[in-house]
Amino acid sequence: MRFLPLLCLLVLPLAAAQAAKPIRIKSPNGDVQVTVDVTAQGQPTYAVRYRRTELLRPSHLGLRLAGADLTQGLELTKADKQTTVTDDYQLTTDKRANCHYRANRRVLHFAGAAGAPQLSVVFQVSNDGVAFQYVLEGPSQEVQRITAESTTFHLPAGAKGWLHPHAKAQTGFANTQPSYEENYQRGIAAGTPSTIGQGWSFPALFQTNGHWVLLTEAGMGRTYAGTHLAHESPDAEYGIAFPQPPEKTTPDAALLPESRLPWSTPWRVVVVGNSLAPIVESTLTTDLSAPATTPVLTEGPGKSSWSWVLMGDQNTTYDVQRRFIDYAANMGWRYCLVDALWDKQIGYDKTQELAQYARSKNVGLLVWYNSNGRWNEAPQTPTNVLFEPESRRKEFARIKQMGVAGVKIDFFGGDGQSFMNYYQDLLVDAAQAGLLVNFHGTTIPRGWNRTYPNLMTMEAVKGFEFLTFDQRNTDQEATHCATLPFTRNAVGPMDFTPMAFSEIRGKERRTSNAFELALSVLFQSGIQHYAEVPEGMAAQPAYVQDFVKKLPPRWADVKLLDGFPGEYVVLARQAPGGAWYVAGINSTDAPKTIQVDLSKLGLQRGTLITDGNTNRSFSTRAVVGNTISVTLPAQGGFVVHP
């Protein structure tokens, strides 16, 4: 029996060598592959490939806690067997009504220094991307704090980015930044430092090796802060940045993540594809978010009239808003939004009259609120009524009794953990009161519209209102709009408030009326607030008015037919009944001929509306056949409808 110790010596190195082998997780179709390894210094890494193409070079994993470093000196102790994730669910406020998530899941367990919490990394790999989250386990009595996240995304050399500069906290109008309202930097070299010095916001789009990668986060609960990409990214390796110090609701509130154990972080999401279609069509943001925790309300998605963007604060008056209620009713739209200062310029009693009048016209009234407690200096009212729970619930109950259908809440102050909780407190209390919610001056969608079905839309975009502020914004509208379907609107509902045929007060609009019409389909929002006023709509051809009237209140599916970020887009959305609507825009300064393959949608006929003889006129014709050819003028557009 003296040979047993020698046998053990032979077996143990073999087991160690096997444990040191990289771990691989593939998507159900095998195209997307993640490789996880541990360096000699005990630093976990992961890499992503699409078939044979490298999309992310080895990138770092790990967390740094207040009392433990879980970024190095780690050992992979166990890799659970691969399991299958299947999730089928319905949405009314996003790009697809019936969502089907399929992924392969594997949990990797790491051990660090004695006494430190155990770190696990959960990977889920689907045909359209990679998601991973951290899980911390250990004694539950003590609150743990994360001071830094060492996650990186290491892009290959030569990658290009379409990136949104992250704003400096407490800047902008009345100290309301960051609110994700910048123009994207387009096609810049990966690794370029951010222009504002605060990093880059999610979602971040990259082109690399003929493929596309979209980075974002999802599944935001109450125990983490919203994050973004760090300012410095040497060798195109982007790290995670936490919120800036002012981004919390009160001086004593949580900024950085803290929680008792066990603790699961939000998902880091890497949407991938060999074309732009998976980027635009993916539902990973909601796939990875919690199912509904509040009831679906009888109120729901729809279209809305809105006076403020073209008519300003001074027209938030009883008579004007009654006229916009009539406008919504005439167009068959479900809502009318009454913006800031309604409490002062109309009053609660007269607003109740408006709500009751709107109901008589089968229109729901939406009203605006300032979110602020201490974090901004915006003077618009109602203000200082929503932050404290007792005041908020009393206010919500009051306006619900008045007949109001929902609220637009504006001017949030950042992405700290306390703000992540405040957003969700608002959604829960609004749902209990039976109110819909639209967040403005806000953070990005992270899947909350699945968890809280009363969340209709979020701004987090340099929307149409900015065209009224500065001619430079107006000049950039076309390229900005042609970037958003591939970036911001790819991760959730977006309240851009599109479509104006009228001229913008004091500004020269560069886009054609057909371009503006196309935005009504191109941009997706649970409630779509249209910028156009009654007189401007009445001046359009009857077939244009009829098209807008018949647009469905929500969409069932989406397909990207063609496009390139910042240059042009051709996109199709399907109505719940099965009919397809196609929209396209040309954002360049030269005419562009676009071939639209209707056979991809199972179509052989439809009606085309596009530019007329001038950029303020329309033309229309019937189209027959599998393919149609449309020549768009500079900053022109088109729609094809049943």
Enzyme catalytic residues: 410, 465
Nearest Cα residue to 530 out of 512, 549, 511: 549
Angstrom distance (rounded) from CA 579 to CA 573? 8
Residue type, 640: V
β 436-439/404-410 pair status: parallel
Angstrom distance (rounded) from CA 285 to CA 267? 9
β 32-38/44-50 pair status: antiparallel
β 364-370/335-338 pair status: parallel
Q: Distance between terminal CA atoms of the chain? A: 84
- Provide the 10 A C-beta neighbour count for residue 432: 15
Cα 624 from chain centroid? Answer: 36
Nearest Cα residue to 190 out of 240, 155, 217: 155
Cα 463 from chain centroid? Answer: 14
Query: What are the backbone dihedrals phi and psi of residue 345, each rounded to the nearest 5 degrees, phi first?
Result: -90, -15
Helix axes 348-360, 389-402, angle to 10 degrees: 50
The angle formed by the CA atoms of residues 221, 222 and 226, to the nearest 5 degrees, is 75
Angstrom distance (rounded) from CA 87 to CA 219? 15
For residue 262, say if its preceding peptide bond is cis, omega within 30 degrees of 0.
yes
The angle formed by the CA atoms of residues 407, 333 and 441, to the nearest 5 degrees, is 35
The angle formed by the CA atoms of residues 197, 133 and 269, to the nearest 5 degrees, is 60
Q: Name the burial class of residue 579, with classes exposed (0-12), middle (13-18) and buried (19+) by CB atoms within 10 angstroms of its CB.
A: middle
Rg of the chain's alpha carbons, rounded to an integer?
A: 25
Angstrom distance (rounded) from CA 484 to CA 472? 18
Write out the two tokens for 240.
Answer: 């995670």
Which DSSP symbol is given to 23? E
List of E strands, 91-233: 98-111, 118-126, 129-137, 144-149, 152-154, 160-165, 185-189, 200-208, 211-218, 228-229
- Note whether 160 and 485 are within 8 A (CB): no
Q: Return the bridge partners of 330, or none.
A: none
Angstrom distance (rounded) from CA 367 to CA 356? 14
Tell me which residue has tokens 């399907």.
574
Residue type, 48: V
Angstrom distance (rounded) from CA 202 to CA 526? 21
Residues 6+ apart with CB under 8 A from 180: 164, 167, 201, 442, 443, 444, 459, 460, 461, 488
